[in-house]
Amino acid sequence: MLEPSLDRQRGILVVEISGPLSVADIERISALLDPYLADAGRLRGMLVDARRHPGWSDIEAILSHERFLRDHAPLIDRIALVTDSDLVAVLTRFATLGRCPALRRFPWSEYHAARAWLEEG
């Protein structure tokens, strides 16, 4: 389960993850982000708030997530991953390898520093 919100003025997408990701969750992010990208061309930053590793609901969700990263990461300038989970950090780094100019992990206690890093870029 996730809750995306897009700050169109700053070009920053915030995704709060609170449970296992589903295909519908990934589709919800795409539905919010794709029209913005069609107009703006790029996203300044994406903040992923995943305090713990929530996992995925099934294999289709994992594949959908990978496709989302493959298609969207090249259009995102910075990704701030806010989590205390080493597994999330490793998986996300692997998934975006070579596709995203800047990915940085922040401990959950540094949420505001992650947001500031996205806004300064």
pLDDT in tens, 111-121: 999 999 999 86
The amino acid occupying position 55 is G
> Distance of CA 85 to CAs 54, 55, 89, 96, 105, Å?
10, 11, 7, 17, 10
Q: Are 11 and 44 in contact (CB under 8 A)?
A: yes
Task: Tell me: pLDDT of 87 over 80.
Answer: no
Range of the domain at 81: 2-120
Q: Output the domain CATH number for residue 91.
A: 3.30.750
> What is residue 12's DSSP assignment?
E
Kindly indicate the confidence band of residue 95, based on its pLDDT and cuts at 50, 70 and 90.
Answer: low
- The number of folded domains in the chain is 1
The amino acid occupying position 99 is R
pLDDT of residue 89: 59
The amino acid occupying position 63 is L
CB-based burial label for 98 (10 Å; 0-12, 13-18, 19+): exposed
Q: Are 61 and 84 in contact (CB under 8 A)?
A: no
Q: pTM of the full predicted structure?
A: 0.87
pLDDT of residue 82: 92
Kindly indicate the confidence band of residue 94, based on its pLDDT and cuts at 50, 70 and 90.
Answer: low
Task: Tell me: pLDDT of 28 over 60.
Answer: yes
The amino acid occupying position 80 is A
